[in-house]
Amino acid sequence: MNTCLVCGHQRAEGAVKCPQCGSFYSKIAELIAEQEALEEMQTFRGRYKKILNSGDIKQALLDELKSAKAELTPQGKFALFVIFVFVFALIVSVL
């Protein structure tokens, strides 16, 4: 990335701060990455990605169940239900 994320001003090599608007490049990139990671975590797609990308799918599912239980919101309960369906589908496909 060689332009400022805030104002689009050309970014100088090795610069940490935009001369145009005064924004810190690394901080902005960090914040955006953090926000994207947070948003993805909150989506079911992100949850599945996390589970499927983990080396131990069984453990990841258990962790997911634990966190879904702890949430105890309608969304959490729904996630729990979806995960159970997912596990059930896995078992059925094996049998």
Write out the residues near Zn ion by the rule CB under 5 A. 4, 6-7, 9, 18, 20-21, 23
Closer residue to Zn ion, CB minimum distance, 23 or 67? 23
What are the tokens at 47?
Answer: 């949850």
Instruction: Write down the least CB distance from residue 20 to Zn ion, Å.
Output: 4
Closer residue to Zn ion, CB minimum distance, 10 or 42? 10
Question: In the Cβ-directed half-sphere of 14, how many Cα atoms lie within 13 Å?
Answer: 0
Closer residue to Zn ion, CB minimum distance, 10 or 35? 10
Instruction: Write down the least CB distance from residue 28 to Zn ion, Å.
Output: 9
Q: How far is CA 22 from the centre of its chain?
A: 29
Instruction: Write down the least CB distance from residue 39 to Zn ion, Å.
Output: 24
Q: How far apart are CA 5 and CA 3, in angstroms?
A: 6
Q: How far apart are CA 72 and CA 50, in angstroms?
A: 20
